[in-house]
Amino acid sequence: MKKSITLLTAALLISLAGFSSNSKEISKETELTFSVSGKILDIFTGEALAGVKVFFEETDTHAYSDFDGNFKINGLYPGQYTLTTTFISYESAMLNLNIDSVEELETLEVKLEQVSK
């Protein structure tokens, strides 16, 4: 009898441990994430720049601007980020962003200047 109570207690503890770890996984999946989008333009001509690499130094996420200069990066958690752009023959740009609310983030407009020759 004592052996069956011990086995029952052990089985209950294992079940509770499994439930606890599953609840952590579920809460991580439902955590709120944000997207940042924008447009990359030449500072003087206003023309859209395609192929600009846009990334956050704090993450492994990046994107490239499309033919119209648009980009979008998904899956960002609330926090402080540095958005960086790189493009051949243009100066890099860095923007500090604080992502912390559920409000719609504005579409960023990033203007790049050509490197002086």
**Domain boundaries of the chain, sorted by first residue:** 1-31, 34-112
Q: Are 90 and 114 in contact (CB under 8 A)?
A: yes
Global pTM reads: 0.69
One pLDDT digit (tens) per residue for the chain, 117 residues: 544 443 333 333 334 344 444 444 434 455 678 889 999 999 999 999 999 999 998 998 899 999 999 999 988 898 999 999 999 999 999 999 988 865 556 789 999 999 986
Which pair of structure tokens corresponds to residue 61? 């996420």
Q: What is the Cα–Cα distance from 68 to 20, expressed in whole angstroms?
A: 47
Domain 34-112 has CATH 2.60.40.1120: yes
Q: Are 73 and 36 in contact (CB under 8 A)?
A: yes
